[in-house]
Structure 1
């Protein structure tokens, strides 16, 4: 770690005995990044992480007494397996950017070495005063503590490998992140989520169900409607909602509720990230209440999703 007051920079270099692909994935997969971004005593939780030009990230670190410190990124450049650049800032209690705190420019570069790979992070501060302020807040010690966790994350291949079943992680009292690596490119997985003909081939859940109604929303403000029916005609249900945000091929945000009801809606944030082995699908679902979150999870939601995602991989393989 080297600081340069003249250039207003802080340079951090880490060398690891893993391929550069493994090191890159650890930074673009929020499940992995949150295990070493914050200091040991202040673990991070990422509720948004989009490593694409114009993409954003939102996270918070939780202290020993439950205090939360919020932060955000905005990506300005991304060259897969080589580098990404971002603006890094502090958030207020709602997670929104805190105008009272300085922002920093960070450039991460990745390269192969004779013994594995290296990541270099150069942070540029806006002023001497901002640099001194953040150093006095414990930034240097925090980085050292955070980096002490990186080796363990990189050694844990099994937890993040392609082929693992769909998993759900609680992010807060009302938020869940559903994750799975899908064998296929981000463009293929994106199209499979936005093409009615493809959706009807894979988004059918357990065997014995069909998807007779599939009206897709492909523009912000459009409404979608999906309906499923058992082959024997004994049951039928559906969901509907509105497309709120769209940034193809990596982000889509929708609302979702039971069709033809006035029931509460969830907010669903889909992010697709290229990783080794395919595309990481991350779906952050925000429920109106903890009780509804727990009720939905108790229905075996992830089991049904896994059946569909496994079918999606078969559809992509046959394409």
Structure 2
């Protein structure tokens, strides 16, 4: 569930987790993208909300379709989530400007509410495995780390170079604004 529409801010692939600083955008300095290995990248962000609420925001279609939109000007007409081991998920985005669409899908391998998800992610015929961890930081703060592992370094670098960084940061910024509304029952 780490993919988002291609943003306007390209990411710069890095070669080593130990020497690479986190990638960030002006839209949100709190989203960090690192490369912990030659086959993986990790996206980390802290949210001012309890873990259970953040987990729900990542796993309930009525919430996901409100924030996982990438840059402004995109909508999510398809957001299906069967949250169980072996269950499928599918997202499809549409450009408001020209109607262009793209999507991704996968299956859940592990669902450990509200701590951890492991799922496949298929985009343009290429599959990665994504592990999402939700860590409590006190009673009202949650750190989310999504680690995507690819079959090759070239594929990992191509995804990073696609510009996904800006879309992820914008989506996280949108989620940070949505969480207080969800806490109030909106």
TM-score, structure 2 normalization: 0.79
Q: Which runs of 5+ in 1 are unaligned?
A: 1-44, 46-61, 63-162
SS state at 1:315 partner: helix
Q: How many residues align?
A: 156
Task: Give the whole-Å Cα distance in 1 for the aligned partners of 2:82 and 2:128.
Answer: 16
Which residue, 170, 174, 187 being the options, matches 2:35? 170
Task: Give the whole-Å Cα distance in 2 for the aligned partners of 1:238 and 1:216.
Answer: 14
SS state at 1:292 partner: helix
Establish whether residue 253 from structure 1 lines up as the match of residue 118 from structure 2: yes
Task: Give the whole-Å Cα distance in 1 for the aligned partners of 2:42 and 2:95.
Answer: 28
Which residue, 219, 226, 236 being the options, matches 2:101? 236
Establish whether residue 265 from structure 1 lines up as the match of residue 130 from structure 2: no
Task: Give the whole-Å Cα distance in 2 for the aligned partners of 1:302 and 1:167.
Answer: 9
Establish whether residue 208 from structure 1 lines up as the match of residue 76 from structure 2: no
Does structure 2 retain, via aligned residues, the 8 Å contact 1:166–1:303?
no
> 1:210-253 deviations in whole A, cap 9, x for unaligned?
00000112111011110000113431100000000010001000
Which residue, 57, 62, 68 being the options, matches 1:197? 62
CA RMSD of aligned residues (A): 1.8
SS state at 2:55 partner: helix
Establish whether residue 225 from structure 1 lines up as the match of residue 90 from structure 2: yes
Does structure 2 retain, via aligned residues, the 8 Å contact 1:164–1:181?
no
**Paired residues for 1:1-319 under 5 Å:** 164-258=29-123, 263-275=125-137, 278-319=141-182
Task: Give the whole-Å Cα distance in 1 for the aligned partners of 2:127 and 2:72.
Answer: 27
Aligned to 1:115: none
Please state how far the C-alpha of 1:311 moved relative to its aligned partner: 0.5
Please state how far the C-alpha of 1:283 moved relative to its aligned partner: 0.6
Does structure 2 retain, via aligned residues, the 8 Å contact 1:202–1:308?
yes
Task: Select the structure with the greater relative contact order (CA < 8 A; seq sep ≥ 6).
Answer: 2
Please state how far the C-alpha of 1:188 moved relative to its aligned partner: 0.6
Task: Give the whole-Å Cα distance in 1 for the aligned partners of 2:128 and 2:56.
Answer: 23
Aligned to 2:6: none
Task: Give the whole-Å Cα distance in 1 for the aligned partners of 2:99 and 2:77.
Answer: 14
SS state at 1:218 partner: coil
Task: Give the whole-Å Cα distance in 1 for the aligned partners of 2:148 and 2:154.
Answer: 14
Of the structure 1 ranges 229-238 and 193-202, higher mean CA displacement relative to structure 2 is found in: 229-238
SS state at 2:37 partner: coil
Q: Which runs of 5+ in 2 are unaligned?
A: 1-16, 19-27
